[in-house]
Amino acid sequence: MSVTVSRRATVSRLAVGWLLPLLGACSPHLDPLPIPAGGLAEASREAAIRWTDSTRLADATDIRFRFRFQDQGGRGRARFAPRDSIRFDVQGPLGMGRATAFIVGDSAAWTQPEDEIHKLVPNYPLFWAMLGIARPPAPGSSVRGFQDARVIVWQFAVGQDTVEYVLERGETPRLYAEVRQGNQRIGRVETRLGPDGFPSSSRLTVLHPATRLDLMFQQHTKVASFAPDIWSRPAPSEP
């Protein structure tokens, strides 16, 4: 299941409203991304797409995780269907603060409740990076890259908006994603990858408003398919 959607770094926010009171409690700090001092060179969009495609899950996958804001948290589930469709559900302590969304690429087909999926992460490249997946550059993007034995770096720019990815190799691989709107850094994701290449944990840091979200992945299971009704908007009374 897939829908082609144009992509910009300034897409609308994806969020869970019950977490909002916790967001001002932290003051995140971001060190510079681990990009080699030699800088980046111009590259083709086709090469960048080949790399981003390599980060995408090849099979329908059922993902379970726990999340934490400060000393409070909850649990969540993400059901991914190739190429880029996902049903995303989160639930706070004692069943409070439930929210769900059907996301296709860089847009939400629907959200429930409608007015609460817009504050958790500031855009979809950061959302997908928490699952270890990089989004491709939009048509017309300026693309630059770098690669050696230690890192792979990509930068996609549309006007003054940029998305940068850094994949650190080694015993504990990490995928970083950082988004800028003009001269302002919006946020960053740091995702640790396990031996199988799937995320073991992920941290989203947003600067304005100050936000920090941690995901701890518990399970990911390949499945043949999902029930068709999971892609339909749930009734308001559905638990």
Q: Which pairing describes strands 107-112 and 99-104: parallel, antiparallel, or unpaired?
A: antiparallel
pLDDT, tens only, 48-104: 999 999 999 999 999 999 998 766 789 999 999 999 999 999 888 766 778 889 999
pLDDT, tens only, 152-179: 999 999 999 999 999 999 889 999 999 9
208, burial (CB in 10 Å: exposed 0-12, middle 13-18, buried 19+): exposed
51, burial (CB in 10 Å: exposed 0-12, middle 13-18, buried 19+): middle
Q: Mean pLDDT over all residues of the chain?
A: 84
Q: What is the pTM of this model?
A: 0.84
CATH number 2.50.20.10 given to 39-223: yes
Instruction: Give the SS3 label for residue 190.
Output: strand
Q: What is the pLDDT of residue 235?
A: 80
Cis amide linkage into residue 236, ω under 30° from 0 = no
At residue 199 the predicted structure's pLDDT band, cuts being 50, 70 and 90, is: very high
